[in-house]
Amino acid sequence: MTDVSIELNKARRGGYALPAFNTNNMEVTKAICAAAAKSDLPILIATTPGAIEYAGLKNIFDIVSNEIDSTGIKAAIHLDHAKDFGIIKQAIDIGYKSVMFDGSSLDYDENVANTEKVVRYAHEHNVAVEAEIGVIAREEGGKLSNKAVYSAPEQVKRFVDDTGIDSVAISVGNEHGAPVGEKLNLELLRQIAEIVEIPLVLHGSSGLSSGDVREAISLGIAKINIDTNIRKAFVSAIESSKESDYRNVMKEGMEEVEKVVEHYIKLLGGK
């Protein structure tokens, strides 16, 4: 998958969504790709700045790229929740095909100015740009921000027009970390979708019901991030393992991650 923007627009028009699965290491990456190889649905494999700090930019890029190539899946590597232009530039220069600038905590004008800078550089390199307007209650990683701000439809449209981004992440009741009782404001999502034509992105989907996810997709969500449920599956399998060989322990974790990824590919693909 070489043009992420084209694939996202196909998804919005086609009534499905591209899953963006977060990874931090070889094992989770292999499990994601193994599951994706069973389907024709394009996917994104996402790494946060935290994943890059943990594994190293070249290491994690090479791991993801090698697995995509060896499995032959339709996939691209995506930089998730980057707040610094430096890491975004490094990711683009090494070969990322999609990046997210997260300026959601900035005031509007500063968010626009920083996003425009990212768009200029990314588009020069045929890289898709996602940005965020509105504030999710729980930040990436599940930390409670205590400053949730729902995305206002007119402001989302203005933000898209002012920045030239390819997709926009919104806050409509979604939260990172899969909190109990997570529920989308579907009417607000409907209002945003009616006036914003580019693909809409949903972060913090792990706590949502399948019904909410499918309804969100029908209203224009074209990309959904999955992280927390992958982490939970991997860690739970490792903690309950009776194996003494750590390679077998990791394999058990990978098997559970593969199940989670398969579930979301079917759900987001409308199956």
Locus of tokens 């077998």 = 248
Buried b (16+ CB within 10 A) or exposed e, 49-75: bebbeebebeebbebbbebbeeeebbb
Q: Which of 40, 69, 80, 109 is the catalytic position?
A: 80
Q: Read off the tokens for 215.
A: 């309804």
The H or E element spanning position 167 is strand 167-170
Buried b (16+ CB within 10 A) or exposed e, 92-120: beeebbbbbbbbbeeeeeebbebbbebbe
* N-term to C-term CA, the chain: 22
**Catalytic: 161?**
no
- Catalytic residue positions, numbered: 80
